Chain A
Amino acid sequence: MRKLVLLLALTAALVFVGAALAVETYGGPRYWNPGDSAASSWQSGWTRNSFNKAASGYETTVTFIDNVSYSWHATIRNRDTVTYTNWWSSQVKKAHCMANTGYHWGGCHAS
């Protein structure tokens, strides 16, 4: 059982690395005002979503939105330099990011 868990973790890590190699910037890099948002295209392959900022202290949210219920998944909100999430689902989805506060530089990335 332990070996199976390790194998699954290794497989997931390798998939993760592969996905990380194909990062798409869907918002910015630009200057963000409070309430600004951006979204990627619809794809089933998105698993990771991040909002990278030039500095900490600005609240941002990242999430995935599915194309059936339009519900939010694996949402993260914080004021760290990097706000990131992972959602491992085969559903068609788009990555979405939002600046809850401003005014700051940053960019949103999906892979």
Chain B
Amino acid sequence: MAASVIAAGVLVGAVVAGGFDWSRSADELDAALVEARPTRVADIPAADGLPERGVFAQVTSTGQFCLSDAPIDAPLMGGGGCNSVDDPLGESAISASLAFEGGPAIETVSDARLIGVAASGVSSVRVLMSDGSSRTVKLKRARVGSDELRVFGYRIRKSDLKKGVGPVAIVAYDSGGAEIGRQTTGIG
């Protein structure tokens, strides 16, 4: 399995000089995201008549590691989340974003997707659904600077959404099957 490499090292100087002030720097981060080269680290396969999308990683001059879910040909036109490049997982074993179109009532959601990163010690990830069932998520390797991570993209089945079934948590397990991370989520 080939690993994607997101070059963080070359930006270290800019990171130190730039920084990120949450209270005022929305415009700075917006501009930094446009400048930062997006690296496609995982895919969300086409399904249910919906097109394939990409999972893109960026390291910005403001010192952020950002992961987004975007059209394959337009990596800057999606959405996602950013954490400090020094802590891309936000002090957790797993960090995920839920993206959806439509709603907020789940039955009116036309597309819902999960993307995320997990620590190298994560062996598997499952999505827990509101009906008590769970779904397995495929993991890929990616390297951010010296950190080796696992990345994923997953599309919620349209048949689930139509039944009012949505994701309620993303859970990370180690190789022994023990839970080592959990993030709650939900539509609406």
Binding site for B on A (CB under 8 A): 5, 9, 12-13, 16-17, 19-21, 23, 25, 29, 48, 50, 52-54, 56-57, 59, 62, 71-86, 88, 100, 105-107, 109, 111
- B22 and A72 contact, CB distance less than 8 A: no
Binding site for A on B (CB under 8 A): 20, 22-27, 29-31, 34, 64, 66, 73-74, 76-84, 87, 90-92, 95-104, 108, 183-186
> When A and B form their complex, what is the total count of cross-chain residue pairs whose Cβ atoms lie within 8 Å?
141
- B64 and A23 contact, CB distance less than 8 A: no
Contact of A20 among B30, B77, B101 (CB under 8 A): B30
- A72 and B102 contact, CB distance less than 8 A: yes
- A56 and B87 contact, CB distance less than 8 A: yes
- B34 and A107 contact, CB distance less than 8 A: no
A102 CA to B185 CA, complexed, in Å? 14
Determine how close the nearest CB of chain B comes to the CB of A20; give it in whole angstroms.
4
A62 CA to B78 CA, complexed, in Å? 12
Determine how close the nearest CB of chain B comes to the CB of A18; give it in whole angstroms.
10
Name which of B29, B73, B108 has the most chain A CB atoms within 10 A of its CB.
B29
